[in-house]
Structure 1
């Protein structure tokens, strides 16, 4: 499929999320109660009671993966273009902000301006259908913002969302049993791993304790580049070399 897609019509994307509050104790009583209902399922221990310190730890560890209890702190994108010599290049940019509403507003304006037609453009990410897209859509609703056309998929049939290209789904070939990491696919398909500084488990700490959004953005952009390289591997085309990769200054 991907070998039939013009890569210059694809916007590569990855998001980074954290818990909505620094710690469980920073939540109001109602949200603490609602997390106590969610936590057993989050920890895959249905029917068991989770209380006290374990409940607080579960929030620190898991809240960021749920749009109802977390928030987005970075959306990184990669846009591919051809230079004057027709050579492919990729430009990486991050929307990173402590203010989620501002981050989402800036991202939404960009995507509607340059990628507003789902019949012409594609959105590509690793596990984008199960995580990134629904998470973004839910946070857009929570922040009461307009939904970009490329993300306006509620109630759509599968054949109406062909503009969403999921590099993890492409690897499954119909197998629905397990998650396959981008790092693993980088290893077996021979392109640089995106994980050379922090990993997903560190993002919350880097945000809440170190207040280092820039570091998170660098990490997120590496995931976007790795996703674009994976797309090229699927299409059996040459990878991006170092001189074909450009980072937009933040």
Structure 2
């Protein structure tokens, strides 16, 4: 029962990613060929590999992380607060700072990581990028040899499925049907490439990433039957 989980033991998170370079032509010849091969089933004959390159951010082998936002609950007597902060800028620094957070504050067996579709995307993406940059995996992301029930991860998409594996429910749809303020009031995931490379507005991406993190926490509260957060409950650090 998720009601038995202490909210203060959960780190909620979301990541934003973009292609590793702005233009396909900036990849070396080998990487261009590898991208053409990797993307051929998704783009089929509708796009060339170069035309499809703005979507490369969804693959850890061809993308990079530009923001990781995290949030956590803090209770003082009967006062509930949700604090958010973000790591952004240079990817290696993002990953090292995030790893330091996990190792320092979320390294005990009771601690859990939670995201939306995070078991499929966020958690493996972060782990793969760490390995690519020769960063040793923190305990909470090192799943080698772990049994399914030993994995310290929660996923609001998985919780919402209730065992149904036939469909995907987006964060935007789920917040709407649950009566939670939408995090997609400025940009959505498809626009992060443009905002990052064309408009150079990382602050908008950070704000968007933090709103997604808050939305994940709100969904988790609704699944528990708890009252959702108000604006006064949320503190941006």
TM-score by length of 1: 0.92
Q: What's 1:30 paired with?
A: 30
Which one of 79, 90, 104 corresponds to residue 87 of structure 1? 79
1:139 equivalenced with 2:129 (yes/no):
yes
CA RMSD, Structure 1 to Structure 2 (Å): 1.2
Q: What's 2:62 paired with?
A: 69
- Do 1:96 and 1:214's aligned partners in 2 also have CA atoms closer than 8 Å? no
Length, aligned pairs only: 237
SS, match of residue 144 in structure 1: coil
Q: What's 1:185 paired with?
A: 174
Which one of 116, 124, 141 corresponds to residue 107 of structure 2? 116
Which one of 49, 66, 82 corresponds to residue 55 of structure 1? 49
Map Cα deviations across residues 216-235 of structure 1 (whole Å, 9 max, x no partner).
00000000001100000000
Counterpart Cα distance in 2 of 1:139 and 1:42: 22
- Do 2:83 and 2:236's aligned partners in 1 also have CA atoms closer than 8 Å? yes
SS, match of residue 64 in structure 1: helix
Q: What's 2:116 paired with?
A: 126
Map Cα deviations across residues 86-136 of structure 1 (whole Å, 9 max, x no partner).
311100000011x1101101111111100012x110101000100000000
- Do 2:14 and 2:115's aligned partners in 1 also have CA atoms closer than 8 Å? yes
- Do 1:17 and 1:64's aligned partners in 2 also have CA atoms closer than 8 Å? yes
Stretches of structure 1 lacking an aligned partner (at least 5 in a row) = none
Deviation at 1:155, TM superposition (A): 3.2
Which one of 153, 175, 196 corresponds to residue 185 of structure 2? 196
Counterpart Cα distance in 1 of 2:129 and 2:219: 27
Deviation at 1:42, TM superposition (A): 3.0
SS, match of residue 172 in structure 2: helix
- Do 2:40 and 2:49's aligned partners in 1 also have CA atoms closer than 8 Å? no
1:168 equivalenced with 2:166 (yes/no):
no
1:100 equivalenced with 2:91 (yes/no):
yes
Counterpart Cα distance in 1 of 2:225 and 2:219: 10
In terms of mean alpha carbon deviation, does 22-31 or 152-161 score higher?
A: 152-161
Map Cα deviations across residues 153-175 of structure 1 (whole Å, 9 max, x no partner).
123220111x2010000111111
